[in-house]
Chain A
Amino acid sequence: MKKIKEFFQHDNIGYLFVMPALIYMLVFNGYPIIRNIILSFQDVTVKTINLAHKQFIGFENYITLFKDPVLSKSIINTLLFTICCLIVQFLIGFALALLFNNKFSVAKPIRGILMIPWMIPITITALIFRFMFASNVGIVNEALQLLGVIDKPIDWLLQPGTAMFALVAANVWIGIPFNMILLTTGLTTISEELYESASIDGASRYQKFSYITLPLLRPAIENVLILGFIYTFKVFDLVYVMTNGGPVNATQVLSTYSYKLSFELFEYSQGATVANILFVILFIVSLLYLKFTYQEEEA
């Protein structure tokens, strides 16, 4: 008892403060990660889930899945979705950050209000866009017909290419405020004086942008792209509600495929395997991200 008291005498008391949260996270997050890895090496389906002894089958799930065309399609779809979203939301978010970096009357309140799309539940965003892209009542079809771009309504969510387009549009809508705010914060760290002295030296607007703004904003840009990659790559709710991976797996992404395997086909081990593949990819990217931020903090 005395020894325990002594142990916590000085800085070690920090353990007592951290312990409850740490234990909680180990039980409800750490354990699932480990359990998920184990599950991916077993053969657990709806038939075997209640058996005490679960059969260990090594890499068989991984081998089966890598021969599965739906998995490769899901990987390609996830990548395509992520890259399209990242490019579009970054460019628009950046443009808006630059615009709102100017001083004008309504800049701050409007920039604030633009955060709302990022805050609302993704389920609702998905249903709004499902409504807007609906073939018979959707405003997108109505607007395009009115403008004469198309003659007859498009079944946006029922055709492979257009379904992906609709998903990207919805996700970009969520991503724009996120990019805008992070880049705005980056912009405010660049000192006004730099621009002033550049003006005195006769630099043009374009020169100021490419020689001052871009290089100094690089850390913020890297940040927003890597974080954006992580958040977009693990997309679930949006795809699940808008298309549920359809039509015929055309918009199937890793997380929805994992969910389908586990909770619609009850192939728990295969679902866990797909989730694990997703996890490994994100884990590597996360480590890259941490390396970036830590280097900056030390520098």
Chain B
Amino acid sequence: MMKEGNSVLSKKNIVLCTAAIAILIILLFPLYWIVVTSFKFEKEIFMSPPTLFPQAINTASYYAQLESGDFNMFRAFGNSAIISVTTMIIAIVLAVPASYGLARYKFKGKKLIILSFLVTQMLPVSVALTPLFILFKNMKVINTLVAPILADATIGIPFSILILRTYFESIPKELDEAARIDGCNRFETFIRIFVPIAFPGVIVCGVFSFLYAWGDLAYALTFIGKQTLRPITAGIFNFMGQYGTKWSYICAFGVVTIIPVVLIFIFMQKYIISGLTAGAVKG
């Protein structure tokens, strides 16, 4: 017979599960609410008391913005995707070798370099905005996607380096020697042996760099004035300024922006939690 404590039907299990589900419903209600609102007709949104489920499903809020209109959600989504993917690639290409160097070799100034990466992680966005604006203006990349990409990568890089350093440090030293004996030089050892082993860490960095860039508002808003080039976050912000009470449209926008995040969550949950804890606990 099963011990009472382990049984699915034990009193303790039922009480805890009920509590957990109640908490889930309360905390995720805001998300449910914008999904539901995005499918309501504008008239129903203003009904009192509000309906918890749409009386009639209205998909016009999604279609209207796909076609053309003042703001094209599809194009903004594409801009966001280009910005986030490019940012992610830059962050990985720069962070992977850097973290390997910091983990496997002893050289002068190493501690200072690690410390400065730690500190940049805590940098408020407002500090960099004006100087970067001037810099990008001189580089002639204002009003191009290049500007937010270059700026967004500065968030992903230090985070990725700190995460990956712990991955590379946990790989036993003997592997270097074994690879050397097999005739690999140091760059080959890095590419062919270490990168594959640290691959889960690389995914964590990719996911976070992507998410940081996907969620950015300040850089995109400041460096891109052209509506057609703005990513979806800046697009929604603009839309809200112009049509502040068109809630069905705004909610539809929001839902579309969240979809990639939820997909990433579903497929990458394990990596996200390990990344968050490792990144925050270690620095």
Interfacial residues, chain A to chain B (CB-CB below 8 A): 11-18, 20-22, 24-25, 28-33, 35-36, 39, 49, 96, 99-100, 102, 104-107, 110, 112-125, 127-132, 134, 136-137, 139, 142, 146, 173, 176, 178, 181-182, 185, 220, 223-224, 227, 230, 233-234, 236-237, 240-241, 254-255, 258-259, 262-263, 268, 271-272, 274-276, 278-279, 282-283, 285-286, 290, 293
Contact = CB atoms under 8 A, between A and B. Distances in A.
Interface residues of B, number: 95
Interface stretch (B45-53, B56-64, B67-75, B196-204): B45-53
A32 B131 contact: yes
B127 A107 contact: no
A123 B217 contact: yes
Nearest to B160: A21
Contacts of B186: 13
Given A119-B261, A123-B236, A136-B46, A275 B129 contact: yes
Interface of B: 8, 12-13, 16-17, 19-21, 23-24, 27-28, 30-31, 33-34, 37, 45-46, 48-50, 90, 94-95, 97-98, 100-102, 104-107, 110, 113, 115-120, 122-132, 134-135, 150-151, 153-154, 157-158, 161, 186, 190, 211, 214-218, 222, 233, 236-237, 240, 245, 247, 250-251, 254, 257-258, 261-262, 264-265, 269, 272-273, 276-277, 280-283
A41 B200 CA distance: 46
A196 to B, nearest CB: 13
Given A110-B24, A123-B215, A181-B273, A11 B131 contact: no
Chain B at the A interface: mostly helix, strand, loop or mixed?
helix
Nearest to B235: A123
The residue in A11, A22, A122 that gathers the most chain B C-beta atoms within 10 A of its C-beta is A22
B98 A20 contact: yes
Given A283-B119, A293-B283, A119 B272 contact: yes
Nearest to A35: B131
